[in-house]
């Protein structure tokens, strides 16, 4: 049987990193087995669902490259189907109407909690042989409840957590349709997973306790339950739960921080999953090797340092052309027009060794494209003085005389210049850096000057000399 998995977020907030990992696991598991993966928007809560959140989900998924094999599915478009199934269950006696008001239910819960009991529906409207139901109150729109078995156990063979046994006696009759007829989550999920032929339900482990109920509904519907894999959640660096007000970030914020999508995926897949000692995976390797045997059941903390490291490794080894679109995006973001300087691939090649993120790369490469907006104060104080200004003035002349503007020619030129004066290369290179880049950090000096170009280099050397003179 071919594998079909799904990622089913509710559009009530942004797509956070835990959701992205769940989506990734679902995607990899299906794709690695020649199966299908689909995206389903669980928007039955009309109050809290927003279009902005839906957009954020699509945007995040697109950026990460986790493409659904089907058109997007919205639960709100499937109401007729849900109504049909509810009617069937009512007719079959596996569901029934309950006329309790919300107030009544609240009171029931409060009393149970006061008695230190687990809050649960007491079954007062549940039809039983020989039982007399209360009189139907006037003007109350009943909810529909699932008639959960009271005997026996539900055994869940979770792919990650192993066997989990639930006693049916612990479960109560959950509401599957509200008073206004709108079906509820646990019910919609079951119908959808059944209709869409989902073979593996991969989701956050906050759903473990819902699973026995869902299995019972599935069985009542005569369907075979899928396999389940409950993924533990991702914690913040301090071990606390990630939430909006505590460090949780939307997927697109990781883009803004300078991550490459593939690198983020690589970090995420290793968070909780392992394949021996391997740390770095291409997308194809992830697909081929991902499996639930090696997914940890314990929650994992998000370690930004390691995420940066993975990003750096990726930046260093991937074809620079792959980085270009993201790098372009980051440059424009800080007001740099990439058309005004050297080819991005060439810059990426020179910078990637020293940049963990694309934010860093953009910042450190800005000077290739935009005019200098002053010198770094510390660096200028250290490297730009009367002595080095004289050096720079002489060097400008020497470089202007070079027959060609290539990295090897510049290398020879600068080295020869230093040697002729009995100076170490550092004595010369550092002032040049500050003069042309505005700071004492840049790629090797020959590469820096080559990429900067002849005109800009000479102009900046002269400007630095003028700068020193103006200060004295």
Partner RNA sequence: GCUCCUAUCGUCUAGAGGCCUAGGACGGAGCCCUCUCAAGGCUUAAACCCGGGUUCGAAUCCCGGUAGGAGCGCCA
- Could you tell me if 307 and 46 are in contact, meaning their C-beta atoms sit under 8 angstroms apart? no
Binding status of residue 78 toward RNA by CB under 7 A:
no
Name all contacts of 347-350 with Cβ < 8 Å and 24+ positions apart: 347/451, 348/315, 348/320, 348/323, 348/324, 349/320, 350/443, 350/444, 350/447, 350/448, 350/451
Would you give the binding string for RNA spanning residues 21-40, x where CB under 7 A is met? --------------------
CB of 398 or CB of 466, closer to RNA: 398
User: Is residue 427 annotated as a catalytic residue, yes or no?
Assistant: no
User: Of 283-342, which residues contact RNA (CB under 7 A)?
Assistant: 293-294, 296-301, 303, 305-306, 308-309, 312, 316
Binding status of residue 206 toward RNA by CB under 7 A:
yes
CB of 293 or CB of 470, closer to RNA: 293
Of residues 67, 153, 244, 378, which has the active-site annotation? 244
How many other CB atoms are found less than 10 A from the CB of residue 44? 22
Residue tagged 């509810």 (tokens): 86
Contact range with RNA by CB under 7 A, out of 61-69, 335-343, 392-400, 422-430: 422-430
One residue of 33, 97, 126, 207 binding RNA per CB under 7 A: 207
One residue of 134, 138, 277, 455 binding RNA per CB under 7 A: 277
Kindly state the DSSP code that residue 315 receives in the 8-state scheme.
H
One residue of 125, 443, 460, 461 binding RNA per CB under 7 A: 443
Closest CA to 189 of 404, 10, 370: 10
CB of 274 or CB of 385, closer to RNA: 274
Distance (Å, rounded) from C-alpha 397 to C-alpha 395?
5
Residue tagged 């990726």 (tokens): 314
Within 45-119, strands assigned E span 73-74, 95-98
Would you give the binding string for RNA spanning residues 110-149, x where CB under 7 A is met? ---x--xxxxx----------------------x------
Binding status of residue 102 toward RNA by CB under 7 A:
yes
**Token duo for residue 457:** 């280099």
CB of 128 or CB of 419, closer to RNA: 419
CB of 5 or CB of 232, closer to RNA: 232
Angle between helices 386-400 and 407-420 (to 10 degrees): 130
One residue of 276, 335, 374, 422 binding RNA per CB under 7 A: 276
Distance (Å, rounded) from C-alpha 216 to C-alpha 203?
18
Would you give the binding string for RNA spanning residues 349-388, x where CB under 7 A is met? ----xxx---------------------------------
Closest CA to 396 of 448, 438, 457: 457
């Amino acid at each position: 049987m071919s594998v079909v998995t799904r990622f089913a977020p509710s559009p009530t907030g942004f797509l956070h990193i835990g959701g992205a990992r769940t989506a990734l696991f679902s995607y990899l598991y299906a794709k690695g087995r020649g199966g299908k993966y689909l995206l389903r928007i669980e928007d039955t809560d009309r109050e809290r669902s927003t279009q902005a959140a839906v957009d954020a989900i699509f945007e995040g998924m697109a950026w990460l490259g986790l493409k659904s094999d089907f058109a997007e599915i919205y639960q709100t478009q499937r109401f007729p189907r849900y109504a049909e199934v509810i009617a069937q269950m009512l007719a079959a006696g596996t569901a029934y109407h309950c006329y309790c008001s919300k107030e009544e239910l609240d009171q029931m819960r409060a009393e149970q909690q006061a008695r230190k009991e687990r809050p649960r529906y007491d079954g007062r409207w549940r039809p039983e042989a020989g039982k007399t139901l209360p009189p139907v109150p006037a003007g109350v729109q009943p909810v529909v409840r699932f008639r959960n078995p009271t005997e026996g156990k539900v055994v869940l063979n979770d792919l990650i957590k192993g066997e989990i046994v639930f006693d049916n006696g612990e479960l109560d009759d959950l509401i599957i349709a509200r008073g206004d007829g709108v079906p509820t989550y646990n019910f919609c999920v079951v119908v959808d997973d059944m209709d869409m032929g989902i073979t593996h339900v991969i989701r956050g482990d906050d759903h473990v306790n819902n699973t026995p109920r869902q299995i019972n509904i599935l069985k009542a519907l005569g369907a075979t339950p899928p396999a389940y894999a409950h993924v533990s959640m991702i914690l913040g660096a301090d071990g606390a739960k990630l939430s909006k007000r505590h460090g949780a970030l939307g997927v697109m914020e990781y883009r803004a921080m300078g991550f490459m999508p593939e690198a983020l995926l690589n970090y995420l897949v290793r968070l909780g999953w392992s394949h021996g000692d391997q740390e770095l995976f291409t997308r194809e390797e992830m697909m081929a090797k991902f499996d639930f045997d090696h997914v940890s059941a314990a929650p994992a903390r998000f370690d930004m340092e390691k995420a940066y490291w993975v990003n750096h490794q990726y930046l260093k080894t991937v074809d620079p052309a792959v980085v270009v679109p993201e790098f372009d995006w980051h440059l424009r973001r800080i007001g740099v027009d990439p058309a005004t300087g050297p080819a991005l691939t060439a810059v990426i090649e020179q910078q990637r060794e020293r940049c963990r993120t694309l934010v860093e790369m953009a910042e450190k490469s800005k000077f290739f494209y935009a005019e200098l907006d002053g010198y770094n104060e510390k660096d200028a104080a250290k490297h730009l003085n009367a002595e080095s200004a004289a050096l720079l003035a002489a060097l400008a002349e020497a470089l202007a005389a070079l027959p060609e503007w290539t990295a090897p020619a510049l290398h020879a030129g600068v080295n020869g210049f230093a040697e002729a004066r009995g100076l170490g290369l550092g004595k010369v290179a550092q002032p040049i850096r500050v003069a042309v880049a505005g700071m004492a950090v840049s790629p090797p000096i020959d590469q820096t000057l080559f990429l900067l170009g002849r005109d800009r280099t000479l102009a900046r050397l002269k400007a630095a000399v003028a700068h020193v003179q103006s200060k004295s």
